[in-house]
Structure 1
Amino acid sequence: MNPPATHSLRKRLLFFLLLAILLASVVQGVSAYRGALQQADDMFDYHLQQMARSLRGGIPLGPPAPDSDAPGDFDFYVQIWGPDGAQIFRSAPRALPPQAVLGFSDVTVGGTSYRVYSVQTPLQTVQIAQNMSARLARARALAAHAVLPIALMAPLLMLVVWWVISRSLAPVERTRRQVASRSAGDLSPLPGEGLPEEVRPLVDELNLLLGRVRTAFDAQTQFVANAAHELRSPLTALKLQAQALRRSGDEAAREVSVARLNQGIDRAIRLVEQLLALAREEAGPGHPAASERLNLQDAVQFAVADVLPQAQARHIDLGVGDTEPAWVRGQLDALRILLRNLLDNALKYTPAPGRVDVALRIVGAHAVLVVEDSGPGIAPLDRPRVFDRFFRAASDSGASGSGLGLAIVKTIADRHGATLRLDRSERLGGLQVEVRFPLADSAPARD
């Protein structure tokens, strides 16, 4: 699969701006050239008129000019005809035909074109003519002179545009070099000094992203360190129990060692499962609220069924109070993990015979899940910290645990936009955990 094509912002800006300048210069040059030609044409016509009108009163008679096909600076020819049609005067040997049409006209004599202006008085007819070739050459020279500033300004303007774009994008290029030269572990913020206003928000968002990545990286590093420490203890215990089993001399001692070894294996498996669950939840998408619409009541029933054997084995009365359909957006497997950890935590720290109750109700725009137990609860000073990984409250009463259950609950709740609140259960006297989920927009229609 070919990589997507990339485009240089500098090249695109230069291409389109220089192309626009070039096209504008061409259009302006053509317009100026045509305008200058028209002005020169009008100016020459004006000269023809003025010369003809100045000669209406007559001029002294004299011989024609000897041999000049281009008298004057602008190739003007003069002819004067009497009322009887006889030629009175001409300024060049080559004679133009007498014109019956007064005003401006174009004539061709001997393959040469002329622009002629004729004016008539009672005594004579005056004709002023100009060679069209000379007229056009001089008009073009004037037009080229008018276009010359545009031709000189266009390259200069292109150079200025190139310089301005290069200067404007220099901070962006500097930022690119800074990012390219960084090591993989350098997550410090990018400097934003001197950046254009259009680029500064992008760098600010990148810095926010780097901050989140740095926080996640630090948390992951701490998680790995804590996980290694937590795994070392059960694995060491398993090793010691295996050694004790090997040294056991009688059958009774061997059975005790095997039972302790199985308990240690179960604790290690539970710890690994919780570590994997926490890692999976933290590595997942940031907010899966739009993944699917589901009934939280179903997740409660699944979770209760999962831990019911554990409750019966510990002689804990696991009760499901008032529940009602509560449609939320999320992932069913993740919600089952959340509920199972809440129930497992309550069962683990509730001494037998005890009681654990689960309830689900709708309060306004939220589905409120409540899990409460008759255990020792959690001291108010410890409640803000129980969601930290590997933290164990002082009121754990010696129950074995990894300190990951409520951390997993917090991670899943955050991903579902839910809020957690810990309090003392007024009914049972132990801990009460309340989880508030935002309701989905609408529930699917029932058959």
Structure 2
Amino acid sequence: MSQWRWGRRSLRTRLLMTVMVPLLALLLMNSLITYVGALIYANHVHDKNLIDDTLTLVQLMATKSPDGNVTSQAAFLLEYEPEGRNYFSVFSAKHGLVAGNPTLLPPDGLFKDGNETQLYDIQIEKHALRAASIQMTNPRDATDELEVTVAETLHDRHMEARQILLLSIPAQTVLIFAAFLLVWLGVRTGLRQLDPLTTQLANRQHDLAPIGDEDVPEEILPLTRTIDGLFARLRAMLALQERFIADAAHQLRTPLAGLSVHAERAQASSDSATVQDALNHIQRLIQRANRTSSQLLALTRAQTIEHEDGDSEPLDMAVLIPELVGQRVHEAIAANIDLGYDGPAGPLWIDGDRHRLQEMLDNLIDNSLRYAGSGALMTVALSREGEDICLAVEDNGPGVPLAWIERLGERFFRVPGCAEEGSGLGLAIVQRIAEWHDAKVRYFAASKKGGLRVEIIFPVKRG
């Protein structure tokens, strides 16, 4: 296990092993091919010699042995082999064996296509032999046919093939290891191209700028682009944290300063009415600070627009939205606002996050409850708009002047002249949550008399 880990950590070792194993396999395969080729060549040469020996015996039978017998000296020479023995035989069609080994008999039908020399394999006394046979007319009897056969063992053929293989292996080995050395030098030189990139990253302190593709080898571009993606996410996260700190400092400065002023009032005055008034102001400022901090946190969460596995799920808006609206009815009644819902009976499915959708709808309803005014009408409507789904929140309050509608959704933007307290973050949260759902936010004047209509267009769930 430790060796595997060591190899995994060393890119050079893994590259060399990746090359070395195929090179060794190539050496073995090349040796096998060399041996087979050498054996084919040895068989070709020995077959030719075997045919020559057979023709020599035929010539001997025709000229030197008119009686059909082979001298003992000739028989010795024909059967001699340093590492084994050879065989020969002469069979007469009329008289049977004339000379040689009685077991060396050509197979039946060997000469059905003519009297040419025939080569074939045979086995005698558990020895594999290669044989050559020829048919001739008996010199003593023109009506008789002789079958002359010479055979040899395969020992010499295999020995010569092994010798050729042994002669070629050293050269092949040197060639393979020379190739391995060149690969090693190439890998070593190639990996040095990573040194400038390593030095560049090592010299960085807090710089999260992209590495870029310039002077980066093509093979590691996927790695550097992945690192650039990581840097981009880190930059976005740090920017989000910096924005949150700046927003918190901006929004909490006023209530904290007010708390300090009214606390000093309470401490400096002995009048119970003044103290009570200061405490009331302190309580309202604390509530404002709590709401602002809560909305800042909500905005920070909403601005994290990257999706992760498990964030989204199929949601039926025709079921979810009425349920969420129902949870706000008591607050609407307390604010003397008529809150209603209008939507279809059939399902309307999207891919979304229930908690984000609830936070988005709560901010839309809070916005109307805060600014529509007592006695206003507010309607949450759900409908299909072409292939998409439209969620709308509309009220008949004073509305927003047309000159400012385009700025709704900006962080900390509040319509000039608005008397109600607020942080200017509610619609910004709605905007970010809509972006998380790939939805679009639209703002309209509800009617010529006033009011505000906010529409969120969601893409329908596919499949």
* Contact preservation (8 Å) 1:419, 1:436: yes
Residues 27-67 of structure 1 show CA distances to partners (whole Å, capped at 9, x for unaligned) of 231232133033223313423433664686569x9xxxxxx
Pair 1:134–1:352, CA change in 2 (3 A): closer
* Contact preservation (8 Å) 2:357, 2:433: yes
2:69 corresponds in structure 1 to 85
* Contact preservation (8 Å) 2:244, 2:296: no
The question of 1:318 aligning with 2:342 is answered no
1:151 corresponds in structure 2 to 173
1:370 corresponds in structure 2 to 392
Count of residue correspondences: 411
Residues 159-208 of structure 1 show CA distances to partners (whole Å, capped at 9, x for unaligned) of 4555555666665x458736862657322112323556565355435434
Distance 1:240 1:49 in 2: 124
* Contact preservation (8 Å) 1:322, 1:359: yes
Shift of 1:311: 2.2
Equivalent residue runs for 1:208-287 within 5 Å: 208-282=229-303, 286=307
Residues 47-103 of structure 1 show CA distances to partners (whole Å, capped at 9, x for unaligned) of 3433664686569x9xxxxxxxxxxxxxxxxxx766363638659999869625588
SS in structure 2 of the partner of residue 422 of structure 1:
strand
The question of 1:305 aligning with 2:303 is answered no
Distance 1:155 1:27 in 2: 15
Distance 1:392 1:409 in 2: 13
Pair 1:228–1:330, CA change in 2 (3 A): same
2:358 corresponds in structure 1 to 336
Shift of 1:349: 3.2
For 2:25, the aligned partner's letter is L
SS in structure 1 of the partner of residue 225 of structure 2:
helix
Distance 2:417 2:329 in 1: 25
SS in structure 2 of the partner of residue 335 of structure 1:
helix
Equivalent residue runs for 1:346-365 within 5 Å: 346-351=368-373, 354-365=376-387
- From 126, 142, 162, give the equivalent of 1:140: 162
For 1:99, the aligned partner's letter is G
2:42 corresponds in structure 1 to 40
The question of 1:188 aligning with 2:183 is answered no
The question of 1:412 aligning with 2:436 is answered no
SS in structure 2 of the partner of residue 207 of structure 1:
helix
Pair 1:286–1:90, CA change in 2 (3 A): closer
2:143 corresponds in structure 1 to none
Tell me whether 155-164 or 412-421 shows the greater mean CA deviation.
Answer: 155-164
Q: TM-score scaled to structure 2, two decimals?
A: 0.71
Shift of 1:241: 0.9
Shift of 1:272: 1.7
Residues 90-117 of structure 1 show CA distances to partners (whole Å, capped at 9, x for unaligned) of 5999986962558889999xxxx99997
Equivalent residue runs for 1:388-403 within 5 Å: 388-389=410-411, 391-403=412-424
Tell me whether 224-233 or 300-309 shows the greater mean CA deviation.
Answer: 300-309
For 1:320, the aligned partner's letter is G
Pair 1:227–1:244, CA change in 2 (3 A): same
Q: TM-score scaled to structure 1, two decimals?
A: 0.73
Pair 1:388–1:182, CA change in 2 (3 A): farther
For 2:257, the aligned partner's letter is T
Shift of 1:231: 1.4
Residues 137-173 of structure 1 show CA distances to partners (whole Å, capped at 9, x for unaligned) of 54432343455554343333434555555666665x4
2:83 corresponds in structure 1 to none
* Contact preservation (8 Å) 2:66, 2:139: no
1:25 corresponds in structure 2 to 27
For 1:247, the aligned partner's letter is A
Structure 2: segments with no counterpart, 5+ residues: 81-86, 88-98, 106-116, 141-145
* Contact preservation (8 Å) 1:33, 1:144: no
* Contact preservation (8 Å) 2:247, 2:296: no
Shift of 1:420: 0.6
1:75 corresponds in structure 2 to none
SS in structure 2 of the partner of residue 425 of structure 1:
strand
For 2:251, the aligned partner's letter is E
* Contact preservation (8 Å) 2:240, 2:300: no
* Contact preservation (8 Å) 2:342, 2:379: no
Structure 1: segments with no counterpart, 5+ residues: 62-79, 443-447
2:313 corresponds in structure 1 to 290
SS in structure 1 of the partner of residue 435 of structure 2:
helix
2:409 corresponds in structure 1 to 387
Residues 238-292 of structure 1 show CA distances to partners (whole Å, capped at 9, x for unaligned) of 1211111222333332332222122111111111221222234445863733265
Equivalent residue runs for 1:103-182 within 5 Å: 122=139, 137-147=159-169, 149-162=171-184, 173-174=194-195, 177=198, 181=202
Tell me whether 182-191 or 9-18 shows the greater mean CA deviation.
Answer: 9-18
Distance 1:18 1:259 in 2: 83
* Contact preservation (8 Å) 1:372, 1:433: yes
* Contact preservation (8 Å) 1:82, 1:88: no
Distance 2:249 2:222 in 1: 40
For 1:322, the aligned partner's letter is D
Distance 2:253 2:379 in 1: 35
Distance 1:381 1:215 in 2: 32
Shift of 1:437: 2.4
Pair 1:438–1:48, CA change in 2 (3 A): closer
Distance 1:131 1:262 in 2: 114
Pair 1:95–1:55, CA change in 2 (3 A): closer
Supply the RMSD in Å over aligned alpha carbons.
Answer: 4.5
Pair 1:419–1:136, CA change in 2 (3 A): closer
